[in-house]
């Protein structure tokens, strides 16, 4: 595991250096640390590593980001009153959660079938 983290750190530092040079000394921080962490996790779980520019990795980040934002909308009320998800699924955000979970499920289903050996 230590070797995998060290290897990812080397790639990450090269990536940051390239991005800084590409943007005249400016580094846009959005998802800068998310991508290497996901790569480390993918490597530990599935033995797969993605390029930081890979569209599938960026799609996963986007889905997870939307999901976590959606919990700010209605997550707290559902914790106190879980039955409200049946009474007012759109207002509580439950419908949006289910759509995003569906996208996440589809992402992993397609990912699994694309990477089956």
Note the maximum CA span of the chain: 53
Region of poorest pLDDT, from 65-74, 79-88, 101-110: 65-74
Q: Is the pTM of this model over 0.95?
A: no
105 CB-contact burial (10 Å; exposed 0-12 / middle 13-18 / buried 19+): exposed
pLDDT at 14 over 90: yes
d(CA 104, CA 60): 8
Domain borders along the chain are 1-50, 54-117
The 3-state secondary structure of the chain reads CHHHHHHHHHHHHHHHHHHHHHCCCCCCCCCCCHHHHHHHHHHHHHCCCCCCCCHHHHHHHHHHHHHHHHHHHHHHHHHHCCCHHHHCHHHHCHHHHHHHHHHHHHHHHHHHHHCCC
pLDDT in tens, 26-71: 888 887 888 899 889 888 888 888 888 888 888 888 998 888 887 7
* Residue 11: band (very low, low, confident or very high) from pLDDT cuts 50, 70, 90: very high
d(CA 81, CA 90): 15
Residue with tokens 């990912």: 111
pLDDT of amino acid 75: 54
pLDDT in tens, 89-101: 988 888 988 999 9
* Residue 72: band (very low, low, confident or very high) from pLDDT cuts 50, 70, 90: low
């Amino acid at each position: 595991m230590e070797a995998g983290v060290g290897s990812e750190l080397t790639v990450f530092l090269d990536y940051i250096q390239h991005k800084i040079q590409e943007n005249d000394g400016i580094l846009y921080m959005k998802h800068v640390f998310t991508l290497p962490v996901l790569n480390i996790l993918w490597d530990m779980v599935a033995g797969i590593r993605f390029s930081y520019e890979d569209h599938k990795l960026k799609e996963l980040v986007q889905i997870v980001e939307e999901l976590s934002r959606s919990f700010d909308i209605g997550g707290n009320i559902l914790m106190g009153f879980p039955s409200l998800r049946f009474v007012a699924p759109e207002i509580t955000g439950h419908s949006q959660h289910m759509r995003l979970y569906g996208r996440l499920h589809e992402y992993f289903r397609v990912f699994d079938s694309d990477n089956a050996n």
